[in-house]
Structure 1
Amino acid sequence: MTIPDPDAHKITLKPSQGTVRIAAVQYLLRSIDSWDAFENQVRFVMKAAGDYKPQFVMFPEIFTTQLLSFMDTSDLRRAVRNMNDYTERYLALFSELARQWGVHIIGGSHPTITDGKLLNTAYLFTPEGKHFTQEKIHLTRWEKEKWHGDAGNHLRVFDTPFGRIAILICYDIEFPELARMVCEQGVDIIFVPSCTDDRQGFWRVRYCCHARAIENQVYVAVTGTVGNLTVEGLGLHYGQAAIITPSDFPFARDGIAAEGVANMEQVVIADVDLAKLVNNRVNGTTIPLYDKRVDVYDNDVEVVATQG
């Protein structure tokens, strides 16, 4: 078999950073009565994850909506915006935890008001005390119609000592263009903090995570909220964390390095080997990252009439 030139499509291949351990938190939404109760639960979960010495810990999408359980939610649109009042405490808490445990934390996502817009913002916290953001690009109907949220417009990739990563929030993983864009910038792991209320929504996200891992020969880590709150739209959750691999001989046969038990509070942990990605991208049974026909994709689709 002829191996294509890795530079042909401007894909960045980097030397292996070795084995990386990922911890994905299935976070239980339970009613609480104060910020302190939220902080105590987060610290408990971080200790459970941190004791296994991962390089990355991921929380789910909008898991901070747990704060709504002690807020006035009679006007849901206003209540979600009032969550921004807790942004500084959230940032301080997770910055402290990232330094304490020496890990990179994908702090789920938190409704954040930026320049007057309500954005579903994911935060990456580093052991050095820095934090970075990635906004959700595609909003669900609930976010648009009930929350009146605003969509982000820009993708980012983050260089870490343990590979180049990207964050695609829940619905965003269902749009293959976004994953392809970040993977063409050399991403090794896509993190997908998610929040789905029913099983159908969960499987839409989960199946797309597998598809993106196969299409782009990357690892995809996904996690979601579990439990329920007595808040409109948050009374039901279906969640299951998983660390997903490409489907080829060097990886798990079913493309699952690890997965949790659905709808239970737990931390799912797996080791992934970045060297296997580098090798698989040029020596795999199939090499879709390089075999894509970019010369064809700009061509018009021909509509052919079969009658008349």
Structure 2
Amino acid sequence: MSKYVKISCLAPPLKEVDPGQGFEGVVNQMIEKWEEHLQHVLPERPDLLVLPECCDDPAFKDMSMEWLYEYYRYRGNRIRDFLAQAARTHRCYIAYSANVEMPDGSFRNATQFLDRAGEVCGTYNKNYITIRQKSTSDTLYGNEAQVIQTDFGRIACIICFDINFNELLEQYAEQKPDLIVFSSAYHGGLMQAYWAYTCRAHFASAIWRPDYSSIVTPVGEVVGESTLFYPYVTRTVNLDSVVVHYDYNWEKLELVKRKYGTKVLISDPTRLNAFLVSCETDEFSIQDIVKEFDLELLDDYWMRCRADRGKPGHLEQ
């Protein structure tokens, strides 16, 4: 059956603060900032809010790294707790990305996933922080990357620089996420579509302005994007979908459309020869369609191609 999920990605500009008010004043200024910007998307009743990397970092002229980490220590979980209350009130998930202090005094660049009750249902620590961040702070590299289970699907989290590393991509691809959440300070360019396609997953990014936040399908199509003047984007995606190749499926897909019409959506991004097939009804699921019409999933087709190449007499000597 269809699994519609409404996603809001938001990344307003860094908040210029008055450090003269002390750490307490700065924390309050950051809470006020997010209280204001959440109102741009909460009326749309999203299932998931994605915030950018280090979303509660303040900014002011000549701010030092020492001051920033002292701010982190003072802030603790207060901004996360504010967002948790918003998650409870509006019954949504929130991907909260921030530098957090560990019990041993070291830090992690982390995404904490808040559920509809405001509880942390999963945490991802950035596996590939930059050399600069490691050399100028007590932040350590993360060492795990596990999908997070939600009531609408399996979520993979990555943060900024992570998007450049195939080791992490391959680790997530094996876990078959439904959605990749990308909290970042830069866009990543073609890597967004590459991650979405490789994982056969939708992709939602929140990226600091002036770059654009976007929502991408498993076949690399951008279905929603923020703008320079409106740093928010909300779209509904259907996670009850599969990716299939043109070969050996074309005639079957024609039969699917003739029988089910608008109940099944076939999206062709062109040039890729791979289609996204989605179930648009609660009468059945996309797996029911796969079974009824014997559709061959893209990964299964790739496996069959590799096996055919390895058959006796098929490979040049």
Please classify the TM superposition score into its range, dividing by the shorter chain length: 0.7 to 0.9
Confirm whether residue 87 of structure 1 aligns to residue 76 of structure 2: yes
Give 1:293 shift: 5.7
Q: Which residue does the alignment assign to 2:232?
A: 267
Identity value in percent:
21
Please state if 1:120 is matched with 2:92.
Answer: no
Long gaps (5+) in structure 2: 19-25, 250-267, 275-296, 307-317
The answer to whether the Cα contact below 8 Å between 2:145 and 2:172 also exists between their aligned partners in 1 is yes
The gaps in structure 1 that reach 5 residues or longer are 1-15, 197-201, 227-237, 248-253, 297-308
> Counterpart in 2 of 1:166?
156
| Match of residue 147 from structure 1 | 137
Tell me the CA shift for residue 185 of structure 1: 1.9
* 2:102 match: secondary structure: strand
SS of structure 2 residue aligned to 1:152: coil
SS in 2 for 1:212: helix
Give 1:18 shift: 1.3
Higher relative contact order (CA 8 A, sep 6+): 1
Could you list the per-position Cα deviations for residues 188-227 of structure 1 after superposition, in whole angstroms to 9, with x for gaps in the alignment? 000000013xxxxx3xx1321110111221111111112x
In the alignment, the residues of structure 2 paired with residue 116 and residue 94 of structure 1 have an alpha-carbon distance, to the nearest angstrom, of: 24
Quick check: 2:244–2:298 contact (8 Å CA) kept in 1?
A: no
Contact 1:62–1:111 (CA<8 Å) still a contact in 2?
no
Quote the offset at 1:56 in angstroms.
0.5
In the superposition, relative to structure 1, how do residues 29 and 78 fare at CA in structure 2: closer, same or farther (>3 Å)?
closer
> Which of 14, 37, 45 matches 1:45?
37
Counterpart amino acid of residue 35 in structure 1? V
Q: What residue is the counterpart of 1:244 in the other structure?
A: 216
Change (3 A) 1:281 1:17: farther
The SS at the match of 1:28 is coil
For residue 246 of structure 1, what is the amino acid of its counterpart? P
Relative to the length of structure 2, the TM-score reads: 0.71
Trace 1:54-203 onto structure 2 (pairs within 5 A): 54-66=46-58, 68-69=59-60, 73-74=63-64, 76-77=65-66, 79-131=68-120, 132-196=122-186, 202=187
CA distance in 1, matches of 2:240, 2:212: 27
2:99–2:107 CA contact under 8 A, matched in 1: no
What is the rounded CA distance, in whole Å, between the counterparts of 2:30 and 2:71 in structure 1? 16
Q: Distance in 2 between matches of 1:212 and 1:85?
A: 36
- The aligned residue for residue 304 of structure 1 is none
2:16 to 27, 31, 52: 31
2:225 is matched by which residue type in structure 1? E
Matches within 5 A, 1:227-242: 238-242=210-214
SS at match of 2:133: helix
- CA 1:239–1:147: 2 relative to 1, 3 Å: farther
1:211 aligns with 2:194: yes
Take 2:244 and 2:43, find their aligned partners in 1: how far apart are those partners? 31
Q: TM-score, normalised by structure 1?
A: 0.73
C-alpha displacement of 1:83 = 1.1
Counterpart amino acid of 1:157? V
Q: Is the 8 A contact 2:203 2:217 kept in 1?
A: yes
SS of the aligned residue for 1:191 comes to: strand
* In 1: Cα distance, 2:132 partner to 2:169 partner: 23
Change (3 A) 1:49 1:89: same
What is the aligned residue count?
A: 252
Structure 1 residues 79 and 109 mapped into 2: Cα distance closer, same or farther (>3 Å)? closer
> Structure 1 pair 265/170, CA: closer, same or farther in 2 (3 Å)?
same
Measured after TM superposition, the shift of residue 181 of structure 1 is 2.0
Name the SS for the 1:27 alignment partner: coil
- For residues 99 and 239 of structure 1, do their structure 2 counterparts lie closer, same or farther at Cα, with a shift above 3 Å needed? same
The whole-number CA distance in structure 2 between the counterparts of 1:134 and 1:272 is 23
Cα distance per residue 1:38-80 (max 9 Å; x no partner): 11111122222111111100110012111x549x944x14532
